[in-house]
Amino acid sequence: MDFSVQNLSNNENEPCIYLSLQSNNVLLDCSLQRFSKKLFKTPNFTQQISKEIDFVLITNYNHLLALPFLTEFTDFNGKIFATEPVAEFGKLMMLELVTLMKEEQNPVFFEGKFTSFYDVHDVESCVSKIKRLHFSENVQFNDKISFTPLSSGFSLGSSNWIINYLNLQVRVSTISEHSISYMSNSSFSEFGHASAFEQNLLNNNDYFIFNNISVNDGQSRIKKTLEQICSATSKTIQDKGNVIFPISPFGYAYDLINLISTQLETIGFGHIPIHVVSPVAKFSFHMANIFGEWMNKNLQNNLYFSKKPLKYGNLIENGLLHFHEEASTIFANFQGPFIIFITHPSLELGEAGILLQELRYHRASSVICTDSNYNYQNLGIYLNQPNNSTNFNMEKIKFFEFNLNFCLTVDELFNLISISNTKNFIFPNNINPKILKTLSEQQNIINKVHYFSEELGFKLDFKIDKSLINLNFWINEKTAVKLKSICSNSSNVKVDGNFELGLNLKNYINIKGFNKIQR
């Protein structure tokens, strides 16, 4: 490869990738990583990396939450690019976090130490630096590099990026043009409101960098999960209980509210209002219906008839959808049963714990957890810990975990690869091992795969045919030494490597014709 790739994140769901293209350095996403409970961690960008970044490309509003740490607290002097919805919803998400974290002491691990969270001024300053783009808008950054955002189908304004660059070979005095596609959260889901996935991303690229692949079963699994959510909601309401959805007021929350309201009408409870609790809920839902041009074609058609694209607009007009900055205003002004969407999906930030305390005095209620980025298995244990402020008797509350993950599945990924003429596919080191194992079983594409890694943390088992397979791994020196030692006793394996100093600190190693390599 004529460029280097460095993963600055420890979680594939919260990506941050540093891409060095000879004369230009690019940061792909800038996610804030959840460290534990109420602690967060920034990407591993050093002051040196921050200073050398020429521009940042953001795929969706979930992946820019660490951006103020880069723009306001380092020597970063580059440019930032995103679509209008990503910038605006990203701003709201950061402002919500500022409110949720205001009582926490030094909750962020940044530059080797725990420090305070950014504030409203930092958010405003950071967002003002973002250059807003439309889908398919080509930006000629300089005479050597350009890039274009294409719809990823995941959320309003969410983008995948095509980067075109010139490669100068000094020794042979040649210049060649290459392209890299970067794909993060992408979706083919028919449930969502976002514009469709743009398949031009697959055409005529030299390299394809992937992130955020789901191990779920695709559309059938999503449909079944939505049916389970509707069933649990209906049963609880019919039993005169309350339903709590711990969820941020963005993205599929809009669609889920539309779905629940339709379900309530079906079972004869269409008069029950839905409540959303978040310091930014009102702004988020108002803004979503303004961005109708970024939605799928069916919803865009509503604009031609002067209708709000998303159904919840009618719910607001009919007094069936209410927004609250604090949960206490619900119980002061309304009577149950209640259907409440409340931030934060972790149930550990914001007023979710306070709300659950209130509901212990009500009839049996249900908490329906849907965010696939959180593990709710130990939630009951956590909430009943003696030193936890949300400690209460949970006997009357039922917890349901129905994970909704709309990202591309492994099968959908393979379908994309099969119709692509891209020759090299690049995956991060923290990709789910199940995905890589399944990928390794695809003999027709395995000779196209690169894998950059801090360390190989699991067994790789590749099938080969009569011809030798040529695989490239970006790994650290320790792992390279280990691989050389393992492969040295095999007559049909050749290992070549050289350690590169500088920003990468990676060892490039070429392995030809192997059956099995174990850690």
pLDDT tens readout for residues 211-246: 877 766 667 788 899 999 999 999 999 999 999 999
Residue 400: helix, strand or coil by DSSP? strand
> 49-63, 481-495, 499-513 — which one is most confidently predicted on average?
49-63
Residue 435 — pLDDT band, cuts 50, 70, 90?
low
pLDDT of residue 175: 63
**Which has more confidence, 430 or 114?**
114
> Which of 84-93, 295-304, 479-488 has the lowest average pLDDT?
479-488
Residue 225 token pair: 């999960």
d(CA 441, CA 418): 14
pLDDT of residue 356: 82
Tell me which residue has tokens 């379908």.
415
**What CATH architecture applies to the domain 219-404?**
3-Layer(aba) Sandwich (3.40)
> Which of 4-8, 96-100, 210-214, 315-319 has the lowest average pLDDT?
210-214
**What CATH architecture applies to the domain 4-214+408-421?**
4-Layer Sandwich (3.60)
The amino acid occupying position 179 is S
d(CA 486, CA 445): 25
Domain boundaries, the chain: 4-214+408-421, 219-404
Burial 184-211 (b: 16+ CB within 10 A, else e): bbbbbbebbbbbebbeebbeebbbbbbb
8 Å CB contact between 479 and 455? yes
pTM: 0.84
d(CA 215, CA 174): 43
Burial 295-330 (b: 16+ CB within 10 A, else e): bbeebeebeeeeebbbbbbebbeeebbbbbeebeeb
Residue 178 — pLDDT band, cuts 50, 70, 90?
confident
| Average pLDDT along the chain | 80
Burial (0-12, 13-18, 19+ Cβ within 10 Å), 403: middle
Question: What is the DSSP secondary structure assignment for residue 61, as one 8-state letter?
Answer: G
Residue 510 — pLDDT band, cuts 50, 70, 90?
very low
8 Å CB contact between 214 and 245? no
% of the chain residues with pLDDT over 90: 48
Residue 203 pLDDT more than 60? yes
Residue 324 — pLDDT band, cuts 50, 70, 90?
very high
d(CA 202, CA 161): 11
Phi first, then psi: give them for residue 298, nearest 5 degrees: -60, -40
**Which has more confidence, 157 or 443?**
157
pLDDT of residue 497: 42
Residue 397 — pLDDT band, cuts 50, 70, 90?
confident
Residue 517 — pLDDT band, cuts 50, 70, 90?
very low
8 Å CB contact between 443 and 481? no
d(CA 18, CA 227): 40
Residue 508 pLDDT more than 50? no
Residue 320 pLDDT more than 70? yes
Burial (0-12, 13-18, 19+ Cβ within 10 Å), 97: buried
**What is the number of other CB atoms lying within 10 angstroms of the CB of residue 165?**
25
Residue 327 pLDDT more than 80? yes
> 104-118, 128-142, 195-209, 214-228 — which one is most confidently predicted on average?
128-142
pLDDT of residue 286: 94
Phi first, then psi: give them for residue 288, nearest 5 degrees: -60, -45
